[in-house]
């Protein structure tokens, strides 16, 4: 057979095949991952157009849920402070002692004294936050990026000072005598803490009570800052599930500028009724899609956080301990913005500071988390476990291990009202100085080093080093896995 004949047969075969494919695509139906799509002369049918738009909006909302995680968490804690503790902008919300599980807050801990201050720079313009000596912490914007650190890592160098927060796009005069920082969002949150020395809780509380906040426009005659002592009052600052999540997001976005990195997400939310400058009034279709997407989005965010596939997540290779912070404080990396890294952290925690990731011996803090036991199984509140803590924990200030509920991501709440142990406690040590910490639903023989858990509910642990020393960073001291007992 000649080459010309072979070419003729080949072209005919290709023509037949392409015609058959075209015929199949023209007439449908086509089975896809989202089900059957009916075609009419190559176009989706009217019912398929509706189905495809519903799927487009559902997929966009699911991803927008993940993207919105940090700002919704900030909105949730702001609302909780106002609703439960009556703390408004430019006021100080102060925990009078060690936080207990009665305060539901993303991975808050029971070893430091906390104070928070919210500002609205869009409403007030530049705001002064006057920080006394002895306050450590960070002022974050509403996407949980550090605006400025407070304490040894901040411009005050731990000596306190008057911080001046400038709103986005501010071009006005900046007076002398202030530690100035510009926020990328209108709303900010200061999280300040004071360490307890020699058991003196009162002094730590008094230090935080000295924080002042007021608009720069009133600096000539500053109004008295209202300090709200929370006492033993409960609070629930956990981001809502379901449809309410979107109401929080819509309200928060309406107060904030649209950043270049986020414009596509704003475009994705627009067909779902969330548009800056407009009321959030979704119709029944939009509400159903948003509610469904919130359920899936929560599980996706939980997976990104509790089972991260990030290459830098593992802190002690060969164990199930992971770095709590896998992101850069500015949430940027070469070539992309850190979406998964941001979700890994902000799904389970709140506020980011440089001092949490910097390698500075004897200062700052470092955090690791574990949600699995030595065998790789999820930690189960109905089972018993032990964490062996080797002697000489490399922490200049103190160390602590805290247990959190898998769903609320806040301190586990049992009848003991005890969610963790720390080197502040009177722990029972082994002969070599090591310590065994026990977790489980029933008190073991040695109940001193025990944290009670809840059958039927998963949990995870944070181990915190305050003032980590050289042996932490060179890993000559390591933390073994949590092991199941019996």
The answer to whether residue 287 sits within a structural domain is yes
Establish if 454 belongs to a structural domain: yes
Give the pLDDT of the chain (486 residues) as one tens digit per residue.
Answer: 555 554 444 444 444 344 444 445 677 799 999 999 999 999 999 999 999 999 999 999 999 999 999 999 999 999 999 999 999 999 999 998 888 999 999 999 888 889 999 999 999 999 999 999 999 999 999 999 999 999 988 999 999 999 999 999 999 999 999 999 999 999 999 999 988 888 889 999 999 999 999 999 999 999 999 999 998 899 999 999 999 999 999 999 999 999 999 999 999 999 999 999 999 999 999 999 999 999 999 999 999 999 999 999 999 999 999 999 999 999 999 999 999 999 999 999 999 988 787 788 888 889 999 999 999 999 999 999 999 999 999 999 999 999 999 999 999 999 999 999 999 899 999 999 999 999 999 999 878 899 999 999 999 999 999 999 999 999 999 999 999 997
* Shared-domain flag, residues 227 and 79: yes
Residue 35, domain extent: 3-44
- CA neighbor of 265 nearest in space, from 54, 50, 71: 71
Cβ–Cβ < 8 Å for 190, 139:
yes
Do 220 and 164 share a domain, yes or no? Answer: yes
- The answer as to whether 54 is a domain residue is no
Q: What is the CATH number of the domain that holds 144?
A: 2.60.40.1610
Using DSSP, state whether 94 is helix, strand or coil.
strand
250 shares its domain with 228 = no
Question: Does 199 share its domain with 227?
Answer: yes
The H or E element containing residue 72 is helix 69-85
Answer with the one of 278, 306, 334 that is the final residue of a domain.
306
Does residue 58 fall inside a structural domain? no
Angstrom distance (rounded) from CA 256 to CA 467: 35
Are residue 183 and residue 103 in the same domain, yes or no? yes
DSSP string, 272-303: GT--TTS-----HHHHHHHHHHHHHHHHHHHH
Domain boundary among 179, 203, 236: 236
What angle, 0 to 180 degrees and rounded to 10, lies between the N-to-C axes of helices 339-346 and 69-85? 30
Residues 429 and 289 in one domain: no
The answer as to whether 283 is a domain residue is: yes
Q: What is the pLDDT of residue 19?
A: 44
Edge-first strand order for the sheet with 136-141 is 146-150, 136-141, 187-194, 113-120, 92-94, 227-229
Domain for residue 53, yes or no? no
Is 52 contained in some domain? no
Write out 301-341 in H/E/C secondary structure.
HHHHHHCCCCCCCECCCCCCCEECCCCCCCCEECCEECHHH
229 shares a domain with 249: no
* Together in a domain, 392 and 332: yes
Instruction: Let me know if residue 314 belongs to a domain.
Output: no
Tell me, yes or no, whether 179 and 248 share the same domain: no
Beta sheet of 459-468, edge-to-edge order: 322-323, 365-370, 459-468, 395-405, 420-422
Stated pTM of the model: 0.92
Assign residue 285 the CATH number of its domain.
1.10.3360.10
Query: Do 466 and 413 belong to one domain?
Result: yes
**Are 367 and 429 within one domain?**
yes
Contacts with 143 (C-beta within 8 Å, 6 or more apart), sequence order: 70, 71, 74, 184, 185, 331
Examine the domain organization and report whether 14 and 118 are in the same domain: no
- Number of structural domains the chain divides into: 4
User: Do the beta carbons of residue 437 and residue 391 sit within 8 Å?
Assistant: no
What's the pLDDT score for residue 24?
54
Dihedral angle, C-alpha 93, 98, 99, 102, nearest 10 °: -110
């Amino acid at each position: 057979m000649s080459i010309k004949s072979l070419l003729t047969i080949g072209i005919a075969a290709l023509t037949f095949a392409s015609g058959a494919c075209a015929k199949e695509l023209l007439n449908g139906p086509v089975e896809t991952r989202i089900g059957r799509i009916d075609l009419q002369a190559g176009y989706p049918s009217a019912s398929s157009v509706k189905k495809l738009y519903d799927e487009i909006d559902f997929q966009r909302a699911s991803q927008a849920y993940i993207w919105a995680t940090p700002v919704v968490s900030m909105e949730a804690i702001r609302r909780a402070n106002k609703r439960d503790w009556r703390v408004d902008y430019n006021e100080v919300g102060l925990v009078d002692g060690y936080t207990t599980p009665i305060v539901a807050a993303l991975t808050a801990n029971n070893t430091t004294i906390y104070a928070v201050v919210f500002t609205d720079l869009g409403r007030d313009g530049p705001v002064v936050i006057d920080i006394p000596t002895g306050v450590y912490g960070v002022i974050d914007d509403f996407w949980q990026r550090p605006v400025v650190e407070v304490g040894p890592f901040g411009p005050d160098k731990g000596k306190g000072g008057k911080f001046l927060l400038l709103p986005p796009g501010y071009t006005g005069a900046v007076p002398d005598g202030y530690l100035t920082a510009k926020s990328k969002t209108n709303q900010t949150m200061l999280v300040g803490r004071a360490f307890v020395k020699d058991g003196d809780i009162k002094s730590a509380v008094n230090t935080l009570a000295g924080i002042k906040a007021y608009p720069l426009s009133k600096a000539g005659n500053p109004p008295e800052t209202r300090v709200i002592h929370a006492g033993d009052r409960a609070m629930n600052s956990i981001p809502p599930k379901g449809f309410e999540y979107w109401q929080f997001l819509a309200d928060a976005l309406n107060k904030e500028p649209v950043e270049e990195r986020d414009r596509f997400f704003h475009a994705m939310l627009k067909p779902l009724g969330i548009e800056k400058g407009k009321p959030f009034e979704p119709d029944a279709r939009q509400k159903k899609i948003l509610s469904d997407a919130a359920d899936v989005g929560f599980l996706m965010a939980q997976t990104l956080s509790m089972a991260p596939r990030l290459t830098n997540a593992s802190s002690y290779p060969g164990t199930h301990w992971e770095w709590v912070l896998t992101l850069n404080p500015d949430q940027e990396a070469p070539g992309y913005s850190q979406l998964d890294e941001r979700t890994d952290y902000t799904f389970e925690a709140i506020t980011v500071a440089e001092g949490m990731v910097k390698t500075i011996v004897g200062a700052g803090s470092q955090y690791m988390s574990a949600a699995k036991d030595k065998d790789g199984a999820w930690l189960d509140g109905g089972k018993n476990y032990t964490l062996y803590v080797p002697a000489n924990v490399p922490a200049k200030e103190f160390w602590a291990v805290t247990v959190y509920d898998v769903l609320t991501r806040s301190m586990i709440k049992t009848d003991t009202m005890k969610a963790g142990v720390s080197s502040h406690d009177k722990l029972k040590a082994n002969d070599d100085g090591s310590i065994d910490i026990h977790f489980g639903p029933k008190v073991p023989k040695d109940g001193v080093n025990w944290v009670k858990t809840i059958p039927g509910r998963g949990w995870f642990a944070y181990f915190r080093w305050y003032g980590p020393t050289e042996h932490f960073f060179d890993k000559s001291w390591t933390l073994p896995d949590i092991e199941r007992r019996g």
